[in-house]
Chain A
């Protein structure tokens, strides 16, 4: 398992790096508008009515952006959580790391299905 993790580290790092960079850029907009401005009434709720949201999301660019919003934060998230476990000396990285990365992988696959079924 340790050997497999070593072999996959560069790929995980690349995903994690993009998770921070592009993920942060995309999340800024999502959290500001979908998470705060619309729920607080700063932006009218019909900006995210079902018809409009579905129209935006089912566009090819919309699907790619939504996929990015799901996948990229997850890989950044689990990679940093793995570092937290290591830093706090919990040990068992050979157990924790594959578990965390499997969560991100499962989430990424579900994300792909989610944007396809829009």
Chain B
């Protein structure tokens, strides 16, 4: 370490469930290298300063969605953000709106349940026989939903959403975007089933269009667009069901 080495103070929210009543902050003054991401600073702290620090990370290239944290009050992917876009003091906390297991590690089970709740797979009324060949899809049909398939499940959108904070049953941006991605996929025939889910307990209509989810999404999925498109489709489905009875299984 030379005398001219740049230093930053990283203030990390710590929480040990066996010892701490509540989360607390701990400051680390560390030397930083040019070109470091925020994640590099955390890894340096863990490797060289305090091995008790716990945080999730994996790919280091913004595709796995593991390293989401609050950085200076904003939900960010720590492997994506350069450290030098922040000031001399950088505050890192676990993602908001999630229970905290330890330090920067959040409990994601609630989110995982919501993902599976929306039936995120192609639903066909009758499976096509293999001999009949694939279900074909044009590039234009792919473009209609492709954006919504780019989600990396990083949960930054849940962290930013003001509704998730106060309505625990709300399905949330990523789950609804994922369900909508399948409903508008030309190969899918399960839109009616998903609309019933979107009209249920986790209702899409809880969304108040804050648009925060789309603002923080690192992959430009625009979940707010998906959620509000889903509202429109669910409302049409609801209105249709008022007039027409639901089809019995096997009819479709």
With A6-B199, A6-B201 already in contact, the answer to whether A87 and B208 are too (CB < 8 A) is: yes
Q: Which residues of B, 183-223, contact A by the 8 Å Cβ criterion?
A: 199-201, 203, 205, 208
Residues of A within 8 A of B234 (CB): 10
Any A CB within 8 A of the CB of B85: no
Q: How far is the CA of A64 from the CA of B108 in the complex (A)?
A: 51
With A87-B162, A87-B208, A89-B166 already in contact, the answer to whether A6 and B231 are too (CB < 8 A) is: no
Residues of A within 8 A of B162 (CB): 87
Contact (Cβ within 8 A) B231 A13? yes
Any A CB within 8 A of the CB of B163: yes
Q: How far is the CA of A11 from the CA of B239 in the complex (A)?
A: 8
Any A CB within 8 A of the CB of B98: no
Q: How far is the CA of A86 from the CA of B164 in the complex (A)?
A: 10
Residues on A facing B (Cβ under 8 Å): 6, 9-14, 80, 83, 86-87, 89, 93
Given A6-B203, A11-B238; 10 other pairs, CB 8 A cutoff? A6-B200, A13-B205, A14-B235, A83-B208, A86-B166, A86-B167, A87-B162, A87-B163, A89-B166, A93-B167
Q: How far is the CA of A9 from the CA of B202 in the complex (A)?
A: 12
Contact (Cβ within 8 A) A10 B239? yes
Q: How far is the CA of A83 from the CA of B206 in the complex (A)?
A: 9
Of A10, A12, A13, A80, most buried by chain B (CB within 10 Å of CB) is A10
Query: What are 23 A-B contacts defined by CB distance under 8 Å?
Result: A6-B199, A6-B201, A6-B203, A9-B203, A9-B205, A10-B199, A10-B205, A10-B234, A10-B238, A11-B238, A12-B205, A13-B205, A13-B235, A14-B235, A83-B208, A86-B166, A86-B167, A86-B208, A87-B165, A87-B166, A87-B208, A89-B165, A93-B167
